[in-house]
Structure 1
Amino acid sequence: MTGTPLIINALGQLDNPNAPQSMAAAGDLNPTGEQYTVDARTLAEAKASGLTAVNITLGYVMGDLPPYEHTLHEIDIWDGVIDRHPDDLLKVTTVEDIRRAAREGRVGVVYGFQNAVAVGDDAGRVATFAERGVRVVQLTYNQANRLGGGSSAPAGTGLTAFGREVVEALNEHHLMVDLSHSGERTCLEAAAHSRVPVSVNHTGCRALTDLPRNKTDEELRLVASRGGFVGIYFMPFLNSTGHARAADVVEHIAHAVDVCGEDHVGIGTDGPVTAIDDLDAYRARLAEHVAQRQEAGVSAAGERADTYPFVVDLRGVDQFRELIRLLERRGYSAGRIEKIMGRNFVDYAERVWTA
């Protein structure tokens, strides 16, 4: 295709995973809470990849840190990161900010949660998070919380009364309700309860790979039918062996397009642009990392010590260009590819952030 489309990563990282303190190097149970390294390489490679904007994960996800206080602290940290790199980064709170990032050659940073535990027992905190610039809130991580069930929670765990209250608060303050990691019943009930379209920013299709982190056709269809968005990840859950390849990403995108329609599907890689340099050294740490997650009760079915949490042949600076090339080979039109790579997320954000 000619020209460069908007590239929006609906869930990703700004990180150099080769730095000692990064999440990939140290494991995502790093007790310091400062898990990412936004250095010169991170910025240069993110921009070189063509990335327009990325929804990052900040705040409490799991562990022993106080959820609310830790979340506010991480918002402060990311505000500082963006302030230190005004020529490279732009905090995104509106759709116009995404367009501005594209015009100015900067990378837009969308603040998002992967767990709503920081809300505590007070849905009024949603207003505080909105004021601080948070624009995406995932209701649960893999385990259950006070809002509903995650993908590893007992089957049938649904959206709670408090979860409905939080969804209503998110609607009121124009924040995305992200149902990634949720269990099936919680996803269906939240999608039906929300008066604003919801999203599943990083997932796969359970019809192709029957793992709990992937969404059923019923979930995908409901989210899309109500004007929502589905992002396909670059994760091991796309293949039953745990060794997903770029071809698997394409197959899951194609299935999602078939179920949802081409106006509701995008990408949410769940990873950084910068690739891990030494895969042998990383492999040696991986078993310990997976064991940590299992011990903490936050791992997902399909996580194993021998599976990378990324797609090995779809990483690094060329990952988005390679995906575009594969979608072209699939026979997708330039217009459909532009939608998948970013325009669908922008259109969805327009429906939510300005609702």
Structure 2
Amino acid sequence: MSSNTDRRSFLALGAGALAAPALASPALAWAAGDPIASMIVVNALGGLENPNDPTKRDRPFLDARALADARASGQTAVNVTIGYVSGPDEPFEYSVREVAQWDKLVRDHPKDLLKVMSAADILRAKAEGKTGLIYGFQNAAMMGKDASRVDIFADLGVKIIQLTYNPANQLGDGSMAPENRGITPFGREVIERLNANRVMVDLSHSGQQTCLEAARFSKRPISINHTGCRAVTDLPRNKTDEELRLVAEKGGFVGIYFMPFLNPTGHARAADVVAHIDHAVNICGEDHVGIGTDGGTSQIDDLKAYESRLAEEIAKRRASGISATGERPDTYPFVVDLRGPDQFRKLAGLLRERGYSTTRIEKILGQNFVRHAQEIWG
């Protein structure tokens, strides 16, 4: 399908043409034990790495297990974080280099991966049994002082750009910036460029005032691709009802993550994910909520061995000033009982037990993101 598929054709495809060949309907899929076989599943922020691989590498790498687990999970597409987030590297150069490195991974694995350049490519990934890779930045620091750099990254196929990470940058304040200031004049320039280039504006890590001002300023709907609900768990990485409601009213998308911030203890469970999805649906409506797990589909095999590595990682994040309230050495950055290749199937089952219809589950697992992507990317 061409990238300029019109809206009517796109919706027709989404409604029927992509049902899995062996399971022609969601009802049959439930009966056969694979509730997501015929669904489009989009992880609005996730990963593909194998966390059990101890090898240190200076570039992105995908091994056979990571690719197999992604395929087995039923995931259609995932927004993978590339480019600069923090650290000593020059942000612009580092980000350009990483785009090139991910392009090479796609070329090296043509049977497994497809670079997503349009909403139609998500449907194509489903039809071809591949994992669609959506290139996304989690920090816009690589813009430097030049908003026209948005044009460069849009041409390179970056489809999502998050304005800030946890600290403040030249565009606005992150969720951990204590001043809670709003968008800067340069941030407005960047948003205008993102709108013009049809790049998705993501406000996941933004502070409250930055999020609200950006959502109001943007001429196109914005997204919060991975977050929780502050009314359920009062932590700064979670979004207030005011933010969630505004994003939905402007036609945007909210993805709920599988992170420790979903529970005040830091030990989130699958029930917490469902509770936050429930709240988001109540505030935003069922057409604006999805998932952005902030994790991959390969689970960690030895959690005890992982805990020592996690303590080191948390210490580094704190030292560099990018850690968020609620991150601790004893809190896993995932939900223990909702991980691995079956995580999306388990979530579908839990939502069904909660009384969600198959249609609503389909929306949350992927259709709402696809609708938003069609609106932004065309």
Which residue of structure 2 lines up, in the alignment, with residue 6 of structure 1? 40
User: Using the alignment, how far apart are the partners of 1:123 and 1:21 within structure 2?
Assistant: 37
Task: Normalising by structure 1, report the TM-score.
Answer: 0.96
The root-mean-square deviation of aligned C-alpha atoms, in Å, is 0.9
User: Using the alignment, how far apart are the partners of 1:284 and 1:141 within structure 2?
Assistant: 25
SS in structure 1 of the partner of residue 164 of structure 2: coil
Q: 2:235 aligns with which of 211, 230, 235?
A: 211
Q: 2:49 aligns with which of 15, 18, 27?
A: 15
AA of the residue aligned to 2:322: V
User: Using the alignment, how far apart are the partners of 1:33 and 1:202 within structure 2?
Assistant: 26
Give the CA deviation at 1:266. 0.1
Q: Which runs of 4+ in 1 moved over 3 A?
A: none
Structure with higher Rg: it is 2
User: Using the alignment, how far apart are the partners of 1:165 and 1:297 within structure 2?
Assistant: 26
SS in structure 2 of the partner of residue 137 of structure 1: strand
Q: Deviations over 1:90-118 (max 9, x none)?
A: 00010111110000000000000000001
SS in structure 2 of the partner of residue 111 of structure 1: strand
AA of the residue aligned to 1:345: F
Which residue of structure 2 lines up, in the alignment, with residue 337 of structure 1? 361
Could you tell me whether the CA contact under 8 Å between 1:250 and 1:326 is conserved in 2? yes
Q: Number of residues paired by the alignment?
A: 344
User: Using the alignment, how far apart are the partners of 1:302 and 1:197 within structure 2?
Assistant: 29
Which residue of structure 2 lines up, in the alignment, with residue 25 of structure 1? none
Task: Normalising by structure 2, report the TM-score.
Answer: 0.90
Give the CA deviation at 1:156. 2.7
1:79 to 2:103 alignment: yes
Which residue of structure 1 lines up, in the alignment, with residue 317 of structure 2? 293
Could you tell me whether the CA contact under 8 Å between 2:237 and 2:325 is conserved in 1? yes
Gaps of 5+ in 1: 23-31
Which residue of structure 1 lines up, in the alignment, with residue 4 of structure 2? none
User: Using the alignment, how far apart are the partners of 1:21 and 1:92 within structure 2?
Assistant: 28
Which residue of structure 2 lines up, in the alignment, with residue 110 of structure 1? 134
SS in structure 2 of the partner of residue 191 of structure 1: helix
Could you tell me whether the CA contact under 8 Å between 2:61 and 2:105 is conserved in 1? no
Which residue of structure 2 lines up, in the alignment, with residue 152 of structure 1? 176
Give the CA deviation at 1:222. 0.2
AA of the residue aligned to 2:47: Q
Give the CA deviation at 1:284. 1.5
Could you tell me whether the CA contact under 8 Å between 1:17 and 1:37 is conserved in 2? no
AA of the residue aligned to 1:248: D
Identity %: 62
Which residue of structure 2 lines up, in the alignment, with residue 133 of structure 1? 157
User: Using the alignment, how far apart are the partners of 2:212 and 2:359 within structure 1?
Assistant: 30
AA of the residue aligned to 2:179: A
AA of the residue aligned to 1:11: L
Which residue of structure 1 lines up, in the alignment, with residue 209 of structure 2? 185
SS in structure 1 of the partner of residue 265 of structure 2: coil
1:48 to 2:82 alignment: no
User: Using the alignment, how far apart are the partners of 2:61 and 2:340 within structure 1?
Assistant: 16
SS in structure 2 of the partner of residue 277 of structure 1: coil
Q: 1:142 aligns with which of 166, 175, 197?
A: 166
Q: Deviations over 1:124-150 (max 9, x none)?
A: 000000000000000000000000000
AA of the residue aligned to 1:143: P
Q: 1:162 aligns with which of 182, 186, 198?
A: 186
User: Using the alignment, how far apart are the partners of 2:161 and 2:117 within structure 1?
Assistant: 13
User: Using the alignment, how far apart are the partners of 1:55 and 1:287 within structure 2?
Assistant: 26
User: Using the alignment, how far apart are the partners of 1:183 and 1:21 within structure 2?
Assistant: 35
Which residue of structure 1 lines up, in the alignment, with residue 308 of structure 2? 284
Give the CA deviation at 1:285. 1.6
Which residue of structure 2 lines up, in the alignment, with residue 222 of structure 1? 246
Which residue of structure 2 lines up, in the alignment, with residue 64 of structure 1? 88
User: Using the alignment, how far apart are the partners of 1:279 and 1:258 within structure 2?
Assistant: 35
Give the CA deviation at 1:37. 3.3
Could you tell me whether the CA contact under 8 Å between 1:155 and 1:183 is conserved in 2? no
Give the CA deviation at 1:213. 0.2
Give the CA deviation at 1:154. 1.6
AA of the residue aligned to 2:151: A
Could you tell me whether the CA contact under 8 Å between 1:19 and 1:37 is conserved in 2? no
Which residue of structure 2 lines up, in the alignment, with residue 200 of structure 1? 224
Distance 1:21 1:145, change over 3 A: farther
Could you tell me whether the CA contact under 8 Å between 1:111 and 1:134 is conserved in 2? yes
Give the CA deviation at 1:122. 0.5
User: Using the alignment, how far apart are the partners of 2:360 and 2:351 within structure 1?
Assistant: 9
Matches within 5 A, 1:225-304: 225-304=249-328
SS in structure 1 of the partner of residue 83 of structure 2: coil
Q: Deviations over 1:18-46 (max 9, x none)?
A: 11247xxxxxxxxx653x43111111110
Could you tell me whether the CA contact under 8 Å between 2:70 and 2:131 is conserved in 1? yes
Could you tell me whether the CA contact under 8 Å between 1:21 and 1:37 is conserved in 2? no
User: Using the alignment, how far apart are the partners of 1:278 and 1:291 within structure 2?
Assistant: 21
